[in-house]
Structure 1
Amino acid sequence: MCLILFSYNDHPAYKLVLAANRDEFYGRPTKNAGWWDDQPNLLGGKDLKEQGSWLAITRDGKFAAITNYRDPKHIKADAPTRGKLVTDFLLNDHTPEDYLKNLQESGSLYNGFNLIFGHQNEIFYYTNATNFYDKLAPGTYGLSNALLDTPWPKVVKGKNKFNNLLKANHDFPVEHAIKDLRDNHLAPDQELPDTGIGIEKERQLSSMFIEMSGYGTRCTTVITIDKQNEVRFKEVSYIPENDFSTSFKIS
């Protein structure tokens, strides 16, 4: 994922509301969201190149989502795939606290990443960019390719739109959130971060929804978990095109 907006225990009807865009090369083979054939308790999209995921949830309410941390000066060509960090947490009997210990010990092996993980009652954030973790307090958060809540233009705009939907609607409007995440307006140059990739790429990557030659937003996903532990999951894939939605009760 390259933009994740989420509200944790900060809405009268929901424990969690999460809306996210996945940005990736168009040619990277991907299986659209669904229950995995080989792991029937796991729901999410699948990276067919490395067999990991960028965002997934289990029938018992564990979930994880990852973004890359943009740091072109410290790219390791032989680093393991970051998508396995999502599935390793979800498919093994780790508590979030146990997994944090694993991340702190092995996080330096990977290229830069941010990981949001936990379950509907407890959410953690970890980044190997600074080997930092935090057990998140109730609130609304935004994450792109820098540290959590770094005020990049897309994060600021995304959180504003997201908060407006949370405040105006008791029943979170999933379709409206997906529409908001299709915002492809570029940020003004004076608001762009400097991450070492040059002004033109900073400009192209500044929108919430990215459209570049060979690279861009591949899908939008919205997950809600209400106070009765009912999960709604909807994903709209753009390349390849597909709409998927389901709901289930946390077991």
Structure 2
Amino acid sequence: MCLIALAWHAHPRYRLVLATNRDEFHARPTRPLAAWDDAPDVVGGRDELHGGSWLALRGRRLVAVTNVRRPPEREGLSRGELVAHLVRHDAPAAQALALLAPVAPGYRPFNLLMHDGDTLAYASNLPDAPPDGEDGRRFVMRPLAPGVHGMSNGALDAPWPKTAAAMSRLDAWLASSAAQPDDDGWPDLEPLFAALADPTQAPDDALPDTGIGLERERFLSSAFIHGDAYGTRASTLVLIADDHARIVERRFGPGGRFDGETRWVA
């Protein structure tokens, strides 16, 4: 995952609203949103390379992950394995993440969100830019305060242009009539999908410096990334209420080609 905007206890019906984009190489084999063969109570996309996921839901338990972009590239276990493991865990988020602390430095750099049905927590194993010559991986976690939050491939709520724009558009949606559910329980999600589909690149003076060079920073600065080899593979919206959860995934191929949509109510 490369972009997450979320509203926590900011909607009258849905305690958590999550709007996300997954950016990845188009050649990487991926299964679309569905119940998992080896865990039928889990719903999410699946990485066929390592068996993990970027976002998965079990009932109202949700886990999502983004990578942290700070060269040099750091080796380690697949961060998608964290999603596959934690979504099947039964412990509260704080307890499950505390158990993760001793092994977290062994994973590739990650930001992680975990909702256990009652609380929402954030964790990372590379929360700060490490000093030159040091790996810098260490584990931090904390609960999230109510409100609108966002993250991309940097720190939680870092003011990257696409993160700030997604948060602003989510905040505007919350205040609009589109956020009110219809007779079938679905609000109008198109404004959120439009925010995730925004191809606007940030001006150079607003770009973060993550050590990958200006041209690459530009290419990755839009919410939706159009590319033949690498780009936005899926846009996903999750709505979690007290008694159910809703998830919608739109999938894309090279050049932003629309490849289908799946809706699920749990």
Output the TM-score relative to the length of structure 1: 0.93
For residue 247 of structure 1, what is the aligned residue in structure 2?
A: 265
For residue 155 of structure 2, what is the aligned residue in structure 1?
A: 147
- Which residues of 2 match residues 128-207 of structure 1 at below 5 A? 128-130=125-127, 131-169=139-177, 170-171=180-181, 172-207=187-222
Distance 2:28 2:46 in 1: 11
Matched position secondary structure for 1:41? strand
Distance 2:231 2:117 in 1: 30
For residue 4 of structure 1, what is the aligned residue in structure 2?
A: 4
Matched position secondary structure for 1:81? coil
Cα deviation code 1:132-176 (max 9, x no counterpart): 211112111111000100000001111111111111133342222
Alignment pair present for 1:102 and 2:94: no
Tell which deviates more after alignment, 5-14 or 186-195.
Answer: 5-14
Matched position secondary structure for 1:211? coil
Q: Are 1:24 and 1:217, in contact at CA under 8 Å, matched by a contact in 2?
A: yes
For residue 235 of structure 2, what is the aligned residue in structure 1?
A: 220
Return the offset for 1:17. 0.7
Output the TM-score relative to the length of structure 2: 0.88
Corresponding residue pairs, total: 244
Matched position secondary structure for 2:72? helix
- Which residues of 2 match residues 47-62 of structure 1 at below 5 A? 47-59=47-59, 61-62=60-61
Matched position secondary structure for 2:153? coil
Tell which deviates more after alignment, 92-101 or 36-45.
Answer: 92-101
Return the offset for 1:74. 4.6
Distance 2:172 2:115 in 1: 25
- Which residues of 2 match residues 17-166 of structure 1 at below 5 A? 17-59=17-59, 61-76=60-75, 79-130=76-127, 131-166=139-174
Return the offset for 1:230. 2.4
Q: Which amino acid aligns with 1:41?
A: D
Tell which deviates more after alignment, 95-104 or 42-51.
Answer: 95-104
Distance 1:118 1:13 in 2: 16
Unaligned runs of 5+ in 2: 128-138, 182-186
Distance 1:221 1:5 in 2: 11
Q: Are 2:89 and 2:96, in contact at CA under 8 Å, matched by a contact in 1?
A: no
Unaligned runs of 5+ in 1: none
Distance 2:147 2:191 in 1: 21
Return the offset for 1:129. 0.6
Q: Which amino acid aligns with 1:69?
A: V
Q: Are 2:3 and 2:163, in contact at CA under 8 Å, matched by a contact in 1?
A: yes
Matched position secondary structure for 2:145? coil
Alpha carbons of structure 1 residues 220 and 26: separation in structure 2 relative to 1, 3 Å: same
For residue 232 of structure 1, what is the aligned residue in structure 2?
A: 246
Q: Are 2:6 and 2:16, in contact at CA under 8 Å, matched by a contact in 1?
A: yes
Cα deviation code 1:107-130 (max 9, x no counterpart): 111121100002232010001013
Q: Are 1:17 and 1:222, in contact at CA under 8 Å, matched by a contact in 2?
A: yes
Distance 2:171 2:251 in 1: 24
Q: Are 1:15 and 1:121, in contact at CA under 8 Å, matched by a contact in 2?
A: no
Query: How well do the aligned residues superpose, as a CA RMSD in angstroms?
Result: 1.4
